[in-house]
Structure 1
Amino acid sequence: MSNASVELKTENDVVRFSIGKPGDNAFSRTEGKKKNKRVKISKRVKLNELRFYRLKAKKKMTSPNPEVRIRYKLEKAKRKEAWLIEMLRKFEVPKAPAETYDPEILTEEERHYFKRTGEKKKNYVPVGRRGVFGGVVLNMHLHWKKHETVKVICKPCKPGQVHVYAEELARLSKGIVIDIKANNVILFYRGKNYVQPKVMSPPDTLSKYKALEKYKYEQSLEHTSQFIEKLEEELEEYQKHLARYKKAKEDTPKDSVINT
């Protein structure tokens, strides 16, 4: 009895004693852990499974029925679209709390003066395919060391995207938008009481590498969405064609009976 263990259990105001060996509980725990372990699949089984899915996909791709082929492509494209959206969520940066600063109010004369002087100067900051990231804001602050104004040239830029860039850069750099030209040029003024920040690249922006990765995923998502639209149109046209064919087939016997 010296090696035995005594357990006291209370259930529904009833006290129960159980006597057992000290290793029993440990054994039962290890046994439970063993049961929870996943069964390892051999390499051959995995290869056979992959081969099965490939053959299944090949059958759909080479199917004589156009609807099967279109639906397979559509399903695959939608899976890719969902994956791309999930990947783009990883690049979402939480916006930092807005700092309190006094926005300067410029008169029309001052605005006109800064617009004229800014247009004459050659200093500019490019915004390329990466879009707005930390390096763009950093370059703006570096230009503002010697110049009051700086031009931001957006290439390539979609229609209306220049206004989004202007709003985002104004928030990040605390600069004042003087003018937005039709040829995707934004003119910024640093402000009368401009003080260069200690951290010129805001923390709530992406790095150069991550901005490029995000751009690639966005491009892929755009092309995939266009491809899905195209496939949906093809499927709709095919279904209309089938409906017309069935209708014509149903009408032909009636016509032949009338003619006889």
Structure 2
Amino acid sequence: MASIASIREITRQFPSTIKRDCLLRLCCFVRNESFLSRQCLNCITFANQRSYKAVRPSLPAPHVATPFDFSLLLEPNIFWHRNILCKWLCARNMSNASVELKTDEDVIRFSFSKALGRVGSTYGKGTTKRHKMSKRAKLNELRFYRLKAKKKMNSPNPEVRIRYKLEKAQRKEAWLVEKLIKYEVPKAPAETYDPEILTEEERHYLKRTGEKKKNYVQVGRRGVFGGVVLNMHLHWKNHETVKVTCKPCKPGQVHEYAGELARLSKGIVIDIKPNNTIIFYRGKNYVQPKIMSPPDTLSKSKALEKYKYEQSLDHTSEFIEKLEKELEEYLEHKARYKKAKESAPQNFLVI
């Protein structure tokens, strides 16, 4: 009866959060010291309302109504799990606040903490907005940079002018290198094929035949791309040999074109003429491939864009070399003038 009276006092203090049945079960567990250790009762925290499904009991809790039911609960074999208390604690009518149960010197105490908020919630936090510049502010900024560049270009000091041009050219060179990286196509793994061995007589015959025939493929400023290889296969459909003319072509670039075309078309290089003409032989056991334009080559438009960037890079590199040479000559002239100026008073005193 004393335990029931104490339970009534506790329920009056917390009428909306704790049920009577839960406290009855709790008292039963506290009395049975052999079943529940004190370490488990030192601090028990009720779960949040959102985690109610996780703490629901797997078995229905027995109803305690009479002292006879208390004696049944005190039997040690009635429960199967050691942490059955945590499963029986009902959190249906609990608030969002956390409740702690402490047992010190056989006295039960409850303590309520603050409500648990959402984990990682950013509600109420101010977000920094990016300041948008007005059109007039952008124009003023561009005008400032133009005036700054114009001031350097019209500077009376030659070193300032040369250094400004050099920095500008170096920035352009770095930009062009980044652009050209996008046009680099990874080479496909080389296919295994049996290269045909030709005798000197066969080579001489194919060379004369290729010179007499008028079918040719031109490699222009775009360089080697998929269309060149496609045209070679179309010519090999009716002819054994084909001429490839390279215009414009830098010194030594013909051999690079010959090796690249031989790899892509699986043809045989018969001869390379002084006028940048290459004669290709299709082979004795030639079979026209299904895909005549290799996938690891650029298209016609991409090849033209790459050529423009390469040409611009060549001119920029030459301009940088010229500016570096001018700067070096100016610094040497400045050093000689300074040295002559320092040595002039000494000579005057000696005389």
Shift of 1:157: 0.5
Superposition TM-score, scaled by structure 1 size: 0.89
* Kept after mapping to 2: 8 A contact 1:5/1:22: no
Structure 2 residue aligned with 1:192: 284
Residue 340 of structure 2 aligns with an amino acid whose one-letter code is A
Superposition TM-score, scaled by structure 2 size: 0.67
Structure 2 residue aligned with 1:25: 121
Deviations 1:92-133 (A, max 9, x none): 011112112111111111111101111111110000000000
- Secondary structure of the structure 2 residue equivalent to 1:27: coil
Q: Pick the aligned partner of 1:222 from 297, 314, 317.
A: 314
Residue 55 of structure 1 aligns with an amino acid whose one-letter code is L
Structure 1 residue aligned with 2:71: none
Residue 192 of structure 1 aligns with an amino acid whose one-letter code is K
Distance 1:134 1:174 in 2: 14
Structure 1 residue aligned with 2:147: 55
- Secondary structure of the structure 2 residue equivalent to 1:25: coil
- Secondary structure of the structure 2 residue equivalent to 1:220: helix
Structure 2 residue aligned with 1:84: 176
Structure 2 residue 298 is the aligned partner of structure 1 residue 206:
yes
Q: Pick the aligned partner of 2:198 from 89, 106, 110.
A: 106
Moved over 3 A (4+): 1-7, 20-24
- Secondary structure of the structure 1 residue equivalent to 2:217: strand
Structure 1 gaps of 5+ residues are: 8-16
Change (3 A) 1:6 1:61: farther
Structure 2 residue aligned with 1:126: 218
Structure 2 residue 241 is the aligned partner of structure 1 residue 241:
no
User: Which has the higher mean CA deviation after the structures are superposed, 17-26 or 120-129?
Assistant: 17-26
Distance 1:182 1:149 in 2: 18
Structure 1 residue aligned with 2:161: 69
Structure 2 gaps of 5+ residues are: 1-16, 18-48, 51-94, 99-112
Deviations 1:195-223 (A, max 9, x none): 00111111110011010000000000000
Aligned residues: 246
Distance 1:38 1:73 in 2: 34
Structure 2 residue aligned with 1:250: 342
Structure 2 residue 232 is the aligned partner of structure 1 residue 140:
yes
Distance 1:242 1:189 in 2: 62
Structure 2 residue 252 is the aligned partner of structure 1 residue 160:
yes
Change (3 A) 1:24 1:229: closer
Structure 2 residue aligned with 1:44: 136
Larger radius of gyration: 2
* Kept after mapping to 2: 8 A contact 1:155/1:184: yes
Residue 237 of structure 2 aligns with an amino acid whose one-letter code is K
Change (3 A) 1:6 1:155: farther
- Secondary structure of the structure 2 residue equivalent to 1:86: helix
1:1-12 to 2 correspondence within 5 Å?
5=96
* Kept after mapping to 2: 8 A contact 1:60/1:68: yes
User: Which has the higher mean CA deviation after the structures are superposed, 153-162 or 244-253?
Assistant: 244-253
Distance 1:74 1:6 in 2: 69
Bigger proportion of residues as helix: 1
Residue 217 of structure 2 aligns with an amino acid whose one-letter code is V
Distance 2:208 2:114 in 1: 93
Distance 1:27 1:166 in 2: 67
Shift of 1:26: 4.7
Deviations 1:25-72 (A, max 9, x none): 2514xx36x22x432222222222211111111111010000000000
